[in-house]
A and B are shown apart, each in its own frame.
Chain A
Amino acid sequence: MAEVTLTNVSKSFGDTRALDNITMTVPDGAFVVLLGPTGAGKTTMLRLISGLEHPDAGDILIDGQSVVRDTPAQRDVAMVFQQYSLYPHLTVRENLAFPLRSPVLRTPKDEIRRKIDEVAEVLSISHKLDNKATELSGGEMQRVSIGRALVRDPRIFLMDEPLSSLDAKLRADLRVELKRIQASLGATILYVTHDQIEAMTMATHVGVLDSGTLIQFGPPREIYERPVSQYAAQRLGLPRINLLPANLFPGAPPGAVTIGLRPEQLIQGEGQESTVVRVEHLGDQSRLHLKLKDHAITTLTDVHTLLKPGDSVAIAPSSPLYFDAGGTRIE
């Protein structure tokens, strides 16, 4: 397992600046989740570390050694591609065996067999091992693609939205399983996702990307509680953070333009009166959609709430986040 360091890495595709001067250190054994909308540069970052792309500027180090001149094979990384990238003419078993059959490894036959069976068990694809890769459903393909990374023992795992096309139950199972594998192997993982639950539950570190720049890098709790900007604050938290004009509530510090309120930062039962628009009972929680002076607010409330649309609820902020005109958070 290994530490990964990016120093001043930039990459452009034609006129598009995919990554702009990124500096980041992924500690050995970290589970780093990269967050950001499509086009933020998440996949490009994985491809640069894997060696499928070369940076225009900057250096990439694995365990302190510069790897920018190395081939993907020399870097010894495993990657789960978003589009599965299975070998269509091979069976599932052959797909899983492919990385192990590398002449560099010289893995004995029964060892290959044992590893494949083990990984297939974890990903519940044992019954599909002799199928051709093209005969699988999307979710099964994605699991095989994860399996192809897991059979190896690489220095770094790179995963590009590996759970995105799975159904909810499988996703929850594999989330736990991936976390367990990471803990038991002590693996270093870089993981791209849109899913905040994956980010919050699996990550030891989160990197927030915005059109090619790294906005913030740190433990998920830190990013949740102390986001550097409005943009970073919006990446985590469900329901999403409510962003309202700062003057809506008293007590805003000078320069504050926007107030950010997460559900737990809204005290109900005191302060200003708002109107209930809608109540969503989700079972383990209830979501409350409120309206305060024409501003929509979403928060959580008691599971057994008796509130109905039209009722009024008093709300007040409690240690909220404040942002200035440029979106930067004010301490």
Chain B
Amino acid sequence: MSASPIDRVAKATPPKLARKIRGLSDRTIAWIFVAPSIFLLLAVNIFPLIWTINLSFTNFKANRPGREIKYIGLRNYERILGDSDIWLTMQATAHFLFWTIALQVLIGFTLAWLINRKFKGNDLWTTIIVLPMMLSPAVVGNFWTFLYQPQIGLFNYVVSFFSGVDPSSFSMLGEVSLAPWAIVIVDTWMWTPFVMLICLAGLRSIPDYIYEAAAIDRASKWRQFWTITLPMVLPFLMLAVLFRGIENFKMFDLVVQLTGGGPGSTTELTSINLKREAFEKWRTGYASAYAIILFVTVFGLASIYVKALNKVKER
């Protein structure tokens, strides 16, 4: 008779240890199992958060460890909220968020809708479309700086080909009016496939027979789209917006690679700005307060959004 795994484990346990374990209640054993995860969570998540909150009330500078740390109350918060430069980075972030999400949802949904019409080779097309998403943001940022090159860049060449403008007359990354759009274009190029995949999942979840019933009920294709396709894909679409919103709020790598926040600070998104405050100017207390403000903002927006999402799902 072959022993069950439980028997084998029981036999392999040294008698001394076995005696000890036998005395433990189920609850204790459960705690022993969960403890490592809880410990890790506390160490890398909860403790830093609390520590950051603590630091946000001080004038601590991490590059001057010897200096006396003074508690200065809400002064950091007051300075951040009163700083017009920070409001500019917030605006840059809002611009980036709004346009990337709007374009990605629009293009992503359209692509998904086209791919979902069962034509020959649509699997191949899906794979091709999804490719940009699989690249490293650093690589994408790097080669788009070449594409945006005024003299040799393919982007400038294509624009000039269609519009007749001299390709070297404009620099996507060098001009204050163009740079915010340059990063929107690259992010859209890279992440539209993600939105498309989620929309495709939504479209594929609608069974054919619903469209058949609608055809019998004499709903036009147009009405079928507005009364069936869109409402049934909406939860998926909202999920895509949530993911993209969270991702782009903390956008760093791609934009640093492309513009480094410039020209001036036109593309200095909050995450880049924050990194500058914390690790270039070393204003640790100030940066902590900044981080807490962002955390509260994102947390608040996300929870409102998730509530709305649940409401849509229930409908």
Q: Which residues of A contact B (CB under 8 A)?
A: 50-52, 71-73, 76-79, 81, 83, 85-89, 98-99, 102-105, 132, 148
> What's the nearest-Cβ distance from chain B to residue A163, in Å?
18
B227 to chain A: which residues have CB within 8 Å? 87, 98
Is the CB–CB distance between A52 and B215 below 8 Å?
Answer: yes
**Pick the contact of B209 from A83, A99, A104 — CB < 8 Å?**
A83
Chain A contact residues: over half helix, strand or loop, or mixed?
loop
Tell me the chain B residues, 242-288 only, with Cβ under 8 Å from chain A.
Answer: none
14 sample A-B contacts, Cβ–Cβ < 8 Å, listed by A number: A52-B216, A72-B216, A72-B218, A73-B218, A73-B220, A85-B209, A87-B210, A87-B227, A88-B232, A89-B231, A102-B219, A103-B220, A104-B218, A148-B217
Is the CB–CB distance between A85 and B210 below 8 Å?
Answer: yes
> What's the nearest-Cβ distance from chain B to residue A243, in Å?
39
> What's the nearest-Cβ distance from chain A to residue B235, in Å?
10
Chain B 65-94, CB-CB to A under 8 Å as 1, else 0, gives: 000000000000000000000000000000
> What's the nearest-Cβ distance from chain B to residue A231, in Å?
31
Q: Judge whether B21 is part of the interface by a CB distance below 8 angstroms.
A: no
**Pick the contact of A78 from B209, B216, B219, B220 — CB < 8 Å?**
B216
Q: How far apart sit A50 and B227, CA to CA, in the bound complex (Å)?
A: 22
Tell me the chain B residues, 204-221 only, with Cβ under 8 Å from chain A.
Answer: 209-210, 212-220
Is the CB–CB distance between B215 and A99 below 8 Å?
Answer: no
Q: Judge whether B223 is part of the interface by a CB distance below 8 angstroms.
A: yes
Is the CB–CB distance between A102 and B218 below 8 Å?
Answer: yes
User: Most chain-B Cβ atoms within 10 A of its Cβ — which of A50, A51, A85, A103?
Assistant: A85
Is the CB–CB distance between B232 and A89 below 8 Å?
Answer: yes
A88 to chain B: which residues have CB within 8 Å? 210, 232
Is the CB–CB distance between B213 and A85 below 8 Å?
Answer: yes
Q: Judge whether B41 is part of the interface by a CB distance below 8 angstroms.
A: no
Interface size on B, residues (CB 8 A): 17
Is the CB–CB distance between A98 and B212 below 8 Å?
Answer: no
Chain B 220-237, CB-CB to A under 8 Å as 1, else 0, gives: 100100011001100000
Closest to A50 in B: B216
Q: How far apart sit A51 and B212, CA to CA, in the bound complex (Å)?
A: 10
Q: How far apart sit A102 and B218, CA to CA, in the bound complex (Å)?
A: 6
User: Most chain-A Cβ atoms within 10 A of its Cβ — which of B209, B217, B228, B315?
Assistant: B217
Known: A52-B216, A81-B212, A87-B214. 20 other contacts (CB 8 A): A50-B216, A52-B212, A52-B215, A71-B215, A73-B219, A73-B220, A76-B218, A77-B216, A79-B216, A81-B209, A81-B213, A83-B209, A85-B212, A98-B227, A99-B216, A99-B217, A102-B217, A103-B220, A103-B223, A104-B218
Chain B 274-315, CB-CB to A under 8 Å as 1, else 0, gives: 000000000000000000000000000000000000000001
* Closest 3 pairs between A and B when the two form their complex, measured CB to CB: A73-B218, A99-B217, A85-B213
Is the CB–CB distance between B215 and A73 below 8 Å?
Answer: yes
B217 to chain A: which residues have CB within 8 Å? 98-99, 102, 148
A71 to chain B: which residues have CB within 8 Å? 215
> What's the nearest-Cβ distance from chain B to residue A119, in Å?
14
> What's the nearest-Cβ distance from chain B to residue A60, in Å?
15
Is the CB–CB distance between B220 and A87 below 8 Å?
Answer: no
> What's the nearest-Cβ distance from chain B to residue A84, in Å?
9
> What's the nearest-Cβ distance from chain B to residue A32, in Å?
18
B220 to chain A: which residues have CB within 8 Å? 73, 103
User: Most chain-B Cβ atoms within 10 A of its Cβ — which of A50, A77, A79, A87?
Assistant: A87
> What's the nearest-Cβ distance from chain B to residue A130, in Å?
13
**Pick the contact of B315 from A76, A89, A98 — CB < 8 Å?**
A89
Closest to B235 in A: A89
Q: How far apart sit A51 and B218, CA to CA, in the bound complex (Å)?
A: 12
> Given A103-B220, A103-B223 in contact, is the A87-B215 Cβ separation under 8 Å?
no
> What's the nearest-Cβ distance from chain B to residue A3, in Å?
20
> What's the nearest-Cβ distance from chain B to residue A97, in Å?
10
> What's the nearest-Cβ distance from chain A to residue B205, in Å?
10
A99 to chain B: which residues have CB within 8 Å? 216-218
Closest to A73 in B: B218
Q: How far apart sit A76 and B218, CA to CA, in the bound complex (Å)?
A: 8
Closest to B215 in A: A72
Q: How far apart sit A234 and B15, CA to CA, in the bound complex (Å)?
A: 75
Q: How far apart sit A79 and B215, CA to CA, in the bound complex (Å)?
A: 10
A103 to chain B: which residues have CB within 8 Å? 220, 223
> What's the nearest-Cβ distance from chain A to residue B221, in Å?
10
Closest to A82 in B: B209
A86 to chain B: which residues have CB within 8 Å? 213
B213 to chain A: which residues have CB within 8 Å? 79, 81, 85-87, 148
Chain B 121-132, CB-CB to A under 8 Å as 1, else 0, gives: 000000000000
Q: How far apart sit A122 and B215, CA to CA, in the bound complex (Å)?
A: 25
Q: How far apart sit A83 and B217, CA to CA, in the bound complex (Å)?
A: 16
User: Most chain-B Cβ atoms within 10 A of its Cβ — which of A51, A99, A104, A148?
Assistant: A99
Q: How far apart sit A85 and B219, CA to CA, in the bound complex (Å)?
A: 15
Q: How far apart sit A73 and B219, CA to CA, in the bound complex (Å)?
A: 7
Chain B 187-217, CB-CB to A under 8 Å as 1, else 0, gives: 0000000000000000000000110111111
Q: How far apart sit A98 and B224, CA to CA, in the bound complex (Å)?
A: 11
B215 to chain A: which residues have CB within 8 Å? 51-52, 71-73
> What's the nearest-Cβ distance from chain A to residue B150, in Å?
50
**Pick the contact of A98 from B209, B219, B231, B232 — CB < 8 Å?**
B219
Q: How far apart sit A72 and B228, CA to CA, in the bound complex (Å)?
A: 17
B315 to chain A: which residues have CB within 8 Å? 89, 132
B216 to chain A: which residues have CB within 8 Å? 50, 52, 72, 77-79, 99
